[in-house]
Amino acid sequence: MHYKAFGKTGYSVSTITYSGIVSMRDGQDASDRYVPWAIDRGVNYFDVAPTYGDAQEKLGNSLRPYRKDVYLACKTKCRTAKEAEKELEESQRLLHTDYFDVYQMHEMASLRDVEIAFGPGGVMELMRKKKEEGVVRKIGITCHSEPAALKALELFPFDTVLFPFNWHMNLGHGFGNALLEKAKERGMGILCMKSMIERAWLADEDRSRYPKSWCKPFHSEDPLLLLAVKYAWSLGVNTLIPPGNFEHFSYAVEHEDEIVNHPITDEELAILKAHLETVKDHPFFGTEMMVK
């Protein structure tokens, strides 16, 4: 496993992050197999959220022997401080921890979300307080909306940003470019989700193989999968968060050296561009999420 400086946080994070969704709904025994497997292969960053079903409970139990040796990131989708404080305390209980290495405003999807979060009684008040108390060590933000992310960055010097820097959306729509430039200028830790996603699901498509994924990932047997991940890595992100199933997580870990040491070539980029022509009519984010 390779490691990269996580912006200016002082953390050195593994190329691949373990998403708590991998532990979600698979049972405690499965989670207890997944987590040691990941740690044995050098994964040191774990990310989870209260909205991920039973993931906090399952991951929290699996991580108990390793908590001091890894970075643990959690989130809140609450927009007010009062609601978020209760949720944070419950996250601490389920994850058996007295602090979070990164705590993130989750799924900032609109400018209205930003307005509430930074307004009187908003969640930003809690995040500042908890950082002063040492419960939160770094403050981050996760977004699907680039305008919302950019607005939030105007209001607070976040330490990290988690965003879908995806080959399809980036090549086809420039999605994420403005945010990526701003994050690099500020020395933020940059987490990339959706690196393995091909396109939106079609209405009549069988989703049973990937029931945890709301947009369609490449199958692990598809050679385009590696090209898509290499493209995301080429954008200069710090760590990749695969979709929430063990198939894709283990694929990313097992191909990590190739992702890092064999950059995407012009020929591979041309292959992706050709494939974009077949999927460009099925983006998995709308234009309201993009910088106009």
Find the distance separating the first CA and the last CA of the chain, reported in whole Å: 38
pLDDT of residue 118 exceeding 80, the answer is yes
Q: Tens digits of per-residue pLDDT, 29-66?
A: 999 999 999 999 999 999 999 999 999 999 999 999 99
CB 234 within 8 A of CB 264: yes
Domain assignment present for 31: yes
User: How far is 248 from 252, CA to CA, in rounded Å?
Assistant: 6
Q: Tens digits of per-residue pLDDT, 195-221?
A: 999 999 999 999 999 999 999 999 999
CB 45 within 8 A of CB 2: no
pLDDT of residue 83: 96
CB 15 within 8 A of CB 1: yes
Domain assignment present for 92: yes
Contacts of 11 (CB under 8 A, 6+ apart): 5, 45, 71, 101, 138, 189
pLDDT-derived band at 292, boundaries 50, 70, 90: confident
The CA-CA-CA angle for residues 168, 170, 176, to 5°, reads: 140
Other residues' Cβ atoms within 10 Å of the Cβ of residue 131: 16
Residue 40, exposed/middle/buried by CB under 10 A (0-12, 13-18, 19+)? exposed
User: How far is 27 from 32, CA to CA, in rounded Å?
Assistant: 9
Domain assignment present for 254: yes
Q: Which helix (H) or strand (E) holds 180?
A: helix 177-186
Domain assignment present for 154: yes
Question: Can you give the residue range of the structural domain that contains 124?
Answer: 3-282
Q: 3-state DSSP: the chain helix, strand, coil percent, rounded to 5?
A: 45, 15, 35
pLDDT of residue 58: 98
CB 199 within 8 A of CB 168: yes
Domain assignment present for 236: yes
**CATH code, domain with 237:** 3.20.20.100
Domain assignment present for 213: yes
Q: Tens digits of per-residue pLDDT, 61-112?
A: 999 999 999 999 999 999 999 999 999 999 999 999 999 999 999 999 999 9
Domain assignment present for 56: yes
Domain assignment present for 291: no
Structural domains in the chain (count): 1
User: How far is 241 from 252, CA to CA, in rounded Å?
Assistant: 9
CB 183 within 8 A of CB 161: yes
Give the position of tokens 């070539």.
Answer: 265
Number of H helices, E strands in the chain: 12, 12
